[in-house]
Chains A and B, each alone.
Chain A
Amino acid sequence: MGIEVPITLGILDGVVVAMVAALTALGLSLVFGIMRIVNVSHGEFYMLGAIIAWFVVTYLGSFLLALVLAPLAVGGLATAVERTILKKIRYDPESTIVATIGLLYAIQQVVLATFGPYAREVSPPFYFRVDLGFFGYSGYKVGVAVISAILIAAVYLLIYKTRLGLFMRATQQDTEIAQAFGVPVRKVYTVSFALGAALAAAAGVLIVPIQQAYYLMGLDALLLSFIIVIVGGLGSIKGTLVAALIVGLLDGVVSVFFSPTLSRILSSLLVAGVILVRPRGLFGSGKTM
């Protein structure tokens, strides 16, 4: 046994982490690109996805059902938040941050009161080992990467190939002109915010058999998403994917030899480097801020 096995394992785990993180970060990036707001409670939507998955799997016994129900429920909650709070503060960037920090605490505490302070396990919906010659790899983790990739591809198609996607891109480019041309900007906002939240929830469902559901798991996901969108550039799908892979691989490989804490410290230093060289991120457009 040489060093190849842990390294390969680290790289594979890194790719899995990267795909789930890309899915989460994509939601954040999408909302920022279209609405110009940062949702600080994005990590809590991810956490809610995991918690709902635990409830659905435990009481209804179906993981697939969780993968459908959790994004729907969280998307519904996000719609309510968008209609009541965000609309009232007129999507002002800084007010939104304060309001969503408040939401973060509220969601966390409600989950703490109902779900409890425990980390709860959900068993994977399927078990098999992928034989890689000299060792086996969890089939479920491969499944997570594949499902994440499919969802990301679906979002890409939605944005670039559908009428709704056209509206979204028009709103992203210039809200007022889009409105003047009859784009239902209000609806685009609602749909985008719900979609962003649903993506985070889906990521939360996918991760739960690997990481357990826990009421404080959202902050780490939020931070990872922040790192990814800063490195990749907010609002860019390509940037999000590339940055997620860089951060994920760094995470996977460093975690093999050192602690995950160190890998998070390193990826944050990467953020510092990127900001010093390209303040708008690797793929960020000039007009972003």
Chain B
Amino acid sequence: MREIGSLPAIFHLSIIAALFVAQFILPPFHHSMLTRIMVLAAYASGYNILLGYTGLMSLGHAMLFSTGLYSVGLTILYLGFEPLAAFTVALISSLVISLLLGAITLRTSGVFFLIVTMIFSQVFYLTTLYFNNITYGDQGFVISQYLHPINMGFFQIDFADRTVKYNLSLLVFSVAFLLSLYVSRSPLGLVLAAIKENPDRAEMLGYNTYRYKLIAFALSGTIAGMSGAVYALVFSYIGSSLAFIHNSINPLLWTLLGGAGTTTGPLVGTMLMVYVIDVTSSFTESYLVVVGIALILIILGFPKGIVGSIRKRWLTWLP
């Protein structure tokens, strides 16, 4: 077993530290951009565990993201849950849903896996529309008026405060980021890499590949659900559009752009894409055309992504 090298550990911790320090320096606009980016990068990092480290391409993660999102939204709106209790429900439900979804979809492989995850995710989306008397469908609902500040004795956590939002995003990103570092370095990660490289050989060596893939799927899905839950707490908006296929394609795009199978790639890809879309949507409504062209160009000329290419050329120690 490889030991966790100290260089990658220091590197990752200093990225988190830099993100922490950034909140004191950044002007308000970039402060709020980075808040958004970190939540979405957490989502992409979870996605990367499946795509980059296990070699499974899912088009169903919007369902897992929305499981977290709706768990928080619905328990707070209808049951009057406190944020922490709602978040716990979100974690448990996204773990359960990912295990269920994984157990069914992992019976298939390759493009079948992709199609089937997409079908199920779309069912989830349609279900949120079908029960629009509860979920408010496409229009969605806002929970900010129910998010009471948490009293911690000597200070208060007020969800309307931008510093709280920023650090909540940073927290969820750090968890996802360090988990993917763990996956890239741990014995579990090595088995997943073996499955990615050659599933038949891994099976022949005695690994129950189905079980390992299910573990990766559940980990990835729970991180997606956790990101969805934090998204609901930070942006206070819960709507069907976040369960739509676009939101399954997003983490795929961000991960590929930054570099699948690199721990920092999802952050880099998300950051670049969120800024690119922000810039383009100011002069054209159809920012999706940018997404489309970006996907085609990446796959044609840049399959390793940004960090993947940097790693290959200069920083070979990068996990």
A residues near B (Cβ < 8 Å) are 32, 37-38, 85, 88-89, 93-95, 97-99, 101-106, 108-110, 112-113, 219, 223, 226-227, 229-230, 234, 259, 261-262, 264-265, 268-269, 271-272, 275-276, 279, 289
CB contacts (< 8 Å) of A38 on chain B: these are 111, 114-115
B119 with A265: CB separation less than 8 A: no
State how many angstroms separate the Cβ of B114 from the closest Cβ of chain A: 6
Q: How far is the CA of A85 from the CA of B57 in the complex (A)?
A: 20
Q: How far is the CA of A88 from the CA of B296 in the complex (A)?
A: 11
- B110, B289, B291, B294 pick with most chain A CB within 10 angstroms: B289
State how many angstroms separate the Cβ of A259 from the closest Cβ of chain B: 7
Q: How many A-B residue pairs have CB under 8 A?
A: 111
CB contacts (< 8 Å) of B114 on chain A: these are 38, 97
- A93, A113, A223 pick with most chain B CB within 10 angstroms: A223
Q: How far is the CA of A37 from the CA of B104 in the complex (A)?
A: 22
Q: How far is the CA of A95 from the CA of B122 in the complex (A)?
A: 22
Q: How far is the CA of A269 from the CA of B298 in the complex (A)?
A: 35
CB contacts (< 8 Å) of A259 on chain B: these are 130
**Interface size on B (CB < 8 Å)?**
38
B110 with A289: CB separation less than 8 A: yes
CB contacts (< 8 Å) of B293 on chain A: these are 102, 106
Q: Is B112 an interface residue (CB 8 A)?
A: yes
CB contacts (< 8 Å) of B127 on chain A: these are 265
Contact residues of B between 97 and 132, Cβ < 8 Å to A: 104-105, 107-112, 114-116, 118-120, 122-123, 126-127, 129-130
The interface residues of chain B, by DSSP majority, are classed as: helix
With contacts A99-B300, A230-B115, A289-B109 taken as known, whether A268 is within 8 angstroms of B120 at the C-beta atoms is: yes
A89 with B119: CB separation less than 8 A: no
Q: How far is the CA of A108 from the CA of B303 in the complex (A)?
A: 24
A103 with B120: CB separation less than 8 A: no
CB contacts (< 8 Å) of A234 on chain B: these are 112
The interface residues of chain A, by DSSP majority, are classed as: helix
CB contacts (< 8 Å) of B104 on chain A: these are 272, 275-276
B298 with A98: CB separation less than 8 A: yes
State how many angstroms separate the Cβ of B295 from the closest Cβ of chain A: 3
B108's partner among A88, A89, A279 (CB-CB below 8 A) is: A279
State how many angstroms separate the Cβ of A51 from the closest Cβ of chain B: 16
Q: How far is the CA of A93 from the CA of B107 in the complex (A)?
A: 18
B111 with A275: CB separation less than 8 A: no
Q: Is B92 an interface residue (CB 8 A)?
A: no
